[in-house]
Amino acid sequence: MTHTNERLRWVIGNWKQNKLRFEARELAEAVAQGRASAVGAAEDRVRVGIAPTFLCLDLAVPFAPPGDALWLFAQNVGAQDFGAFTGEIGPTMLLDAGVNGAIIGHSERREHFWETDEDIERKLRCALAAGLQVVLCIGEPLEIREAEQHETFVISQLSTAFFNIPPEHITERLVLAYEPIWAIGTGKTATPAEASAMHHAIRTWMGETFGANGRDRSILYGGSVKPANAAALLAAPDIDGFLVGGASLDAASFLDIVRTAAGG
Ligand code: PGA
């Protein structure tokens, strides 16, 4: 398979609340060691990232040296840089710790920790202003999909998230991830056609709102991505890589997905 557009491909492993420190070190090392051969000749257009827990980010820093080799993401980030916000970690603190970016607005944060679109807007604004790489997640629950309101729902998530974002912050630092909630951790994947239609709607809205800088952002798919379904999803238009949960907890299966994204 060839890569048919200029957009960067990303494959990012979201480890969620998994792995003790010794396990996290082993997994980060195995991903770092296998990455170059999985990416092969696609080095300049495929980026690979991992998102361990906050407590394990420091262990992964030595495996993610400056440069594009392996990108390190937090799974969440505060909506402010510093201050009296007990329990929070801000974007500048992540950068200071050698972390490249953060996932913002994951559906598990929205569902279990009541993060609203407005919270996500504040996090996004603060993170982009601080210079953090961001993966912004959007996606609809099953009942919204069944009611055929999924595009309206996701566009409304986007319009709130980007309400106050200055256009100059819409750069390569921003990656979007469409993750239908009914496909996360369920073994049920959106079909390539379903995912692709939504990615097209997202790209159209980003283009209408931010011009070429919006339209050209990489849009990842997430939700039960595995080595067995990665190629079919990537062959669909507008799918620029993956946010991988369960299959990223094993280096071999994660690297298989990376290899597919690299076209090998
Ligand atoms: P999953 O998780 O691959 O286990 O479905 C994806 C995600 O939540 O990012």
Residue 203 half-sphere exposure toward CB, CA atoms < 13 A:
19
Q: Which two tokens stand for residue 169?
A: 């912050």
Give yes or no: 194 in active site: no
Provide the angle, in degrees to the nearest 10, between the axes of the packed helices 227-235 and 251-261: 20
* C-alpha triplet 225, 233, 258: angle, nearest 5°: 60
DSSP one-letter code for 100: -
User: Which residue's alpha carbon is nearest to atom 1 within ligand 1?
Assistant: 245
Q: Any residues with CB less than 8 A from the CB of 25 and at least 6 apart, and which?
A: 56, 59, 60
CB of residue 105 inside a 6 A radius of ligand 1: no
CB of residue 246 inside a 6 A radius of ligand 1: yes
* C-alpha triplet 216, 91, 47: angle, nearest 5°: 40
CB of residue 75 inside a 6 A radius of ligand 1: no
Note the pLDDT of residue 189.
Answer: 86
Q: Which residue from 9, 66, 14 is spatially nearest to 43, judged by alpha carbons?
A: 9
Give yes or no: 179 in active site: yes
User: pTM for the complete prediction?
Assistant: 0.96
CB of residue 179 inside a 6 A radius of ligand 1: yes
Note the pLDDT of residue 6.
Answer: 81
Domains of the chain in sequence order: 9-261 (3.20.20.70)
Instruction: Show the low-confidence residues of the chain (pLDDT under 50).
Output: 1-4
d(Cα 234, Cα 3) in Å, to the nearest integer? 9
Query: Which of these is catalytic: 121, 140, 179, 199?
Result: 179
Cβ atoms of 77 and 40 within 8 Å: the answer is no
Cβ atoms of 51 and 75 within 8 Å: the answer is yes
Note the pLDDT of residue 3.
Answer: 46
Note the pLDDT of residue 151.
Answer: 98
Residue 31 has phi, psi (to 5 degrees) of -65, -45
